[in-house]
Amino acid sequence: MNDTFGIAQLAREFGVTTRTIRFYEDKGLLAPERAGQRRIYTQRDRVRLRLIMRGKRLGFSLEEIAEMVNLYDQDPTEVAQLRLFLDKIGQRRSALRRQQADIKAILDELDRLDAQSTALLAEKSGKVARRA
For residues 8-23, average pLDDT: 97
Residue 12 confidence (pLDDT) above 60: yes
The Cα 36–Cα 42 span in angstroms is: 16
- pLDDT at residue number 75: 84
Backbone angles phi, psi at 31, to 5 degrees: -140, 75
- pLDDT at residue number 126: 81
The pLDDT mean for the chain works out to: 92
Torsion sign, CA atoms 83, 85, 86, 91: positive
- pLDDT at residue number 128: 60
- pLDDT at residue number 109: 98
- pLDDT at residue number 57: 95
For residues 87-95, average pLDDT: 96
pLDDT digits (tens, 9 = 90+) for 63-80: 999 999 888 878 888 899
**Percent of the chain clearing pLDDT 70 (strictly above):** 95
The Cα 11–Cα 18 span in angstroms is: 6
The Cα 106–Cα 72 span in angstroms is: 41
